[in-house]
Amino acid sequence: MFDASTLLRQRFAALRSGAELFSLRHVKHSHQSLAVRRNVAEPPYFSQDEGAMLTVRVAGVEAYAATADLSQSGLQRALERAEALARQIKAHSLLDLSEQAVPSGRHDHVSPNFEQTLPKLADCLALLARESASVPNDARLVDWQLSLGITVVEQTYLNSAGAELRQAQRFLFPGLGVTASDGQDSQSRTLGRDNFGQQGGFDVIERCALIGAAPRVADEALQLLLAPNTPSGRRDLLLMPDQMMLQIHESIGHPLEMDRILGDERNYAGTSFVKASDFGQLQYGSALLNVTFDPTLPEELASYSFDDDGSAASKQFLIRDGVLLRPLGGALSQWRSGLEGVANSRACSWNRAPIDRMANLNIEPGDQSLEQLIAGIEHGILMRTNRSWSIDDARNKFQFGCEWGQLIEHGQLRGVVKNPNYRGISAEFWRNLSAVGDRSTFQVLGTPNCGKGEPNQVIRVGHASPACVFSQIDVFGGDA
């Protein structure tokens, strides 16, 4: 761990620059993916990548250059390219960053159980094979797959103001999916789709309950095959955490990214229905809605102590009692907008510059158990596990589909329904939040593939949520 730090410090100290501030962000990334499909091992996939981003501030202008050449001369050349670029764009710069605060902290952040040795490759494949073999022998089960992705990232940030920030993180992504077909229809059921990623060691496999789950997931796929279509109309909607995370991601996370609000992303990822003037006054949701940027849950995917610009990260309320308080804006966006944001300047790798990204975006638990949530619904539907999504460029009007539905009548769970979908308008939807589950319904989840930025950056995002109830939502089945 941090094997390259000593050499990096030496080479950084030897760099020469005329900039008033310069920094180096070194990233070493490795990934392996294993899968067993229909009891046959797929070819394993391995990748490794390493490089550094050099950033300078010259006369209030910041610029950067990246390199995979980590030699003294390679780093020096990248630094000089960044400095030359800063001088070239000075005449066209819209911002003077001369007085922007400079990080100077020194800190290490390490994933829980980072030093724990994981099982060997053959043992991991054997585990997946055993789970695959436990799928029942039923001709209607036409496809199934077990998978495990393991990513390790080590990062070091150094700057000329004395900062030294190091992170060592390991992420595990277990997966399970089963598809059933009767020749006329097909239905799939998964273990939360791709959304069970966490930081840690083999404890992640245990928390995600992969072992022993295949027979249950297969049975649920068969139940969906036999189930009637979801009826259409307005009903109360109980969303479980593995669907709540998509709802949070699309209709809270992306709209609150400050660079979208400032217009930076309109050419690619879109804008936002939120305006800068809304912070501090917009009633984003009902009084039950409390949303936090929380980098402090050790196992969540985007837990860290400092962001990629060196800003210290701490838990902050973005929405409290339904009122919008602050954006997902890192140091640069805070400087531009004058609004207080959070430490969420993040880059996907060494060759991308940090931009405003979601990190851990969570809904705080309420006070009702799952049984109480169900008992409070007279005419509704429970939905689990996202399978489709559509939302407009302003992250306002949306339509989402789920894998699993169950009707709720007179406070009781009833029959399974397939092809459950719902739609709404973001702020109106959150204002219909009528009940929030307690800590017993709370799950820590996350996605490895949130895309944004030009050039594109795909990054890990964490979402933790309890189960939640929304009143009188437009739901519909596959025939609508």
CA distance 123 to 128: 9
CA 181 to chain centre: 32
Shared-domain flag, residues 259 and 382? yes
Listed residues 201, 226, 251: the one ending a domain = 226
- pLDDT (0 to 100) of residue 86: 96
Write the DSSP assignment of 418-463 as a string of letters: BS-EEEEEHHHHHHTEEEEB-GGG-EEEEEEEEEETTTTEEEEEEE
CA distances from 126 to 148, 210, 242, 479 (A): 12, 14, 27, 42
Query: How many C-beta neighbours within 10 Å does residue 37 have?
Result: 15
Same domain, 466 and 414: yes
Half-sphere exposure of 166 toward its Cβ, with a 13 Å CA cutoff?
13
* Token pair 């519909």: residue: 476
What is the domain range of residue 373? 233-476
Q: Which among 192, 208, 226 is the end of a domain?
A: 226
Residues 417 and 354 in one domain: yes
Structure tokens at 395: 């992250």
Same domain, 206 and 255: no
Q: Pick the closest to residue 56 from 25, 88, 79 (CA basis).
A: 79
Q: Are residues 324 and 407 in the same domain?
A: yes
Those residues with Cβ within 8 angstroms of residue 475's Cβ, 6 or more apart along the chain or in another chain: 230, 231, 232, 233, 234, 235, 237, 381, 420, 421, 422
Please name the residue that has the structure tokens 């760099």.
15
pLDDT at 265: 87
The CA distance from 68 to 294, in Å, is 32
Residues 129 and 66 in one domain: yes
DSSP-H helix ranges across 46-183: 72-89, 121-133
Give the number of other CB atoms < 10 A from CB of residue 174: 27
**Is 353 found in the same domain as 382?**
yes
Buried b (16+ CB within 10 A) or exposed e, 257-292: bbbbbbebbeeebbbbbbeeebbeebbbbbebbbbb
Helices (H) and strands (E) in the chain, counts: 10, 24
DSSP state of 47: E
Q: Are 384 and 240 in contact (CB under 8 A)?
A: yes
User: Quick one: 18 and 71 in the same domain?
Assistant: yes
State the Cα–Cα distance between residues 82 and 19, nearest whole angstrom. Answer: 10
Q: What is the pTM of this model?
A: 0.95
Q: Which tokens sit at 241?
A: 């955490």
**Nearest-5° Cα angle at 178, 176 to 179:** 150
247 and 161 co-located in one domain: no
Beta bridge partners of 332: none
Q: What is the CA radius of gyration of the chain?
A: 24
Domain end position, chosen among 203, 226, 249: 226
Chain centroid to Cα 191, Å, comes to 17
In DSSP notation, 140-159 reads TEEEEEEEEEEEEEEEEEEE
Neighbours of 401 (CB within 10 A): 22
Total count of domains within the chain? 2
124: domain CATH number is: 3.30.2290.10
Residues 298, 155 within the same domain: no
The pLDDT averaged over each successive group of 10 residues in the chain (480 residues) is 86 96 97 97 97 97 97 98 96 90 94 94 96 97 97 97 96 97 96 86 92 97 97 98 97 97 90 97 98 97 96 97 98 95 97 96 98 98 96 96 98 97 96 98 95 93 98 88
The answer to whether residues 81 and 160 belong to one domain is: yes
Are 181 and 203 within 8 A, CB to CB?
no
Q: What is the C-alpha to C-alpha distance for residues 82 and 64, in angstroms, rounded to an integer?
A: 5
Closest to 445 (Cα-Cα) out of 213, 253, 208, 151: 208
Structure-token match 């709540």, residue found: 244
Same domain, 436 and 296: yes
Cα–Cα distances in angstroms (integers) from residue 22 to residues 97, 121, 164, 187, 311, in the given order: 13, 41, 13, 54, 15
pLDDT at 480: 55
